[in-house]
Amino acid sequence: MSDNTASPTAPAPATKPVRRWPALLIGLCLVAGVAAGLGWFMTKPKAPPMELALEKLGLSRPDGLLEAHSLSQLPKDLLAVPFLKATLTEDFVFYYETHADRLGLIGSLRRIIYEHDLKLQDSLIEQLFDQPADVALWRGADGRLKDFLLVMDRGGLAKVLEPLAKVALDDSQLSQLGEMNVAGDVVPVYQLTYNASKALVFASHGDKLVVLSNPTRLYDLGSGPTDEPGMVSTQALEALLAGEKLFPEAFGLLPKAPEVKQRISVNASVLAMGYQRFIPNFAGLRFDMDDKGWHSFLAMDELEDQPDFDFKPIWQAMPMGASACVALPLAAEQQKPLLVKLGADDNAAQVMIEHMAGAAGLCWYADSRLYTPLLVANLNDDGGKLDADLGNLFGSMVGAYENNVAEHAFPVVETQEGPMHRWQRQVSSNFGPYPAKDAAQPESITGKAFMQVSLARHGSTLLFSLDDKLVDKALGTLDKRFPPMADVVPKDLLMPVYFGPDAMAQLMQRETLDSLPQDMEPVFYNAAQTYLIPKLRTLGGYGKYALTLPEGSEPDGHWQWLPLEWKAL
């Protein structure tokens, strides 16, 4: 694997079925977690980007972009990553070849060809999937990439489809929606219904073919909204059929170079799962494949008063043994209104943002849970003057409605010893690590379990987690009673991401089995034991990785693509 070969999770943005691909779940949870955890501190970009050509043409900005030299080869190309080849096996490829939507679409086309006696080769279907293509994708209401717009460009292929037009007026599944004008030619727009309730729109001109997966997203410019995800105007389709490359600009890219066989770009809005406004300097991820393999890139947006990219204090405070870690620079000025909303008064919020400095990070641990990472942030001094405000903010934002408790919340327990000041509150939660019977007042616990949510300041370091044991371990690290992550990560490299496959496999196995009680979900539990757990064990056999950025990296403008190098530790 080369220095910047794609990570074990590199292909994640291109795939949906998380049960067959644990790496995707890992990658999405990492970014979603850091987005939520760092939400207090991040600011807005310096200036909005220029209006893009696609937006002028009524095409909403895509959330993902796949530029492939062959759609049918993509799953196999993903397996070119040694890590994925060992963990995904051939059923990963077969999944896409036997997907219900693909089979339904193929069946519908073959029926039309047969019943109308069209002189088309049966291999046409395979040709359609074995062509260079650009695919723009948009998120659905559930946050997953759902709607797509596909553009194909291959000599003569679009013309081969012209016989389909002859049956559009005499077929139950194929109909003509309207017409467009491309380079002075009238181009019909068709709708194909398949799998009973699904449909897609397509049109062809010359050597180009466009396919829109959701007919309800097609509209005429000026007669509908363009800011709703997945909206595509007929004018945008005309431009694409005329040969315009509208998609790369939306990701700060030039058209794909010939030597790049596959290019997968994902907007941070997908990975951040709705928290993108809190991490505006994270723009997206990209994975390129050429003759040397896969390569990873991180896109950043410049911020006003951009903080230094210095993550060393984070790794000095994080306890060793993490499953995965993410670190980002902090810029807190614009988050004052959020702190006020959470309970800090105006003056206290101003004091807090003035004391925030450097970077913050999140780490997940195998002996904790996926939803209880450890957050570490830094202050620009010992932070003692912030303690009263930290305590008030913690008390106002952490808690749950409890039974038979004063003010319907358990009291905040405050302790101080030397440079350490800690705040802790018991909170009822069915996801908590402690059973209700272990509480000091079991009858007051709402549900079957509880958490000991903890916030601590140790000198100039802030620690927070829903799992109090992680905060205890971090305090031990700062007191030099437990080794830090700094002992195992590169000391002279800029490392924003750490990945420990062994510990991650343990964490994912625990989360999977806990979500599938054997007595309630015996089928899925047995399937996980048979198919997923062996893959996780294979995952655990890989060494640790550090994702590093080039020395001196700092975003300068919008969509600044920085190469991510994967260093084996």
DSSP symbol at 515: T
Residues 133, 151: Cα–Cα separation, whole Å: 6
Residues 174, 171: Cα–Cα separation, whole Å: 5
DSSP symbol at 335: G
b (16+ CB within 10 A) / e for 388-425: ebbbbbbbeebbbebeebeeebbebeeeeeebbbbbbb
What pLDDT score does 451 carry? 94
What pLDDT score does 317 carry? 96
CB distance 296 to 6 below 8 Å: yes
b (16+ CB within 10 A) / e for 102-122: eeebbebbeebbeeeeeebee
Regions in the chain scoring below 70 on pLDDT: 1-51, 81-130, 154-173, 195-196, 222-227, 272-280, 304-308, 331-335, 343, 383
303 three-state secondary structure = strand
Domain residue limits, the chain: 12-43+56-300, 382-459
Tokens of 300: 């950043």
pTM for the predicted model, two decimal places:
0.71
Q: What is the largest CA-CA distance in the chain?
A: 86
**Residue 362, phi then psi, degrees to nearest 5:** -125, 140
What pLDDT score does 528 carry? 73
206 three-state secondary structure = coil
What pLDDT score does 307 carry? 63
Element (H, E) at 473: helix 468-478
Residue type present at position 560: Q
- What dihedral angle (degrees, nearest 10) is formed by the CA atoms of 390, 368, 479, 331? -40
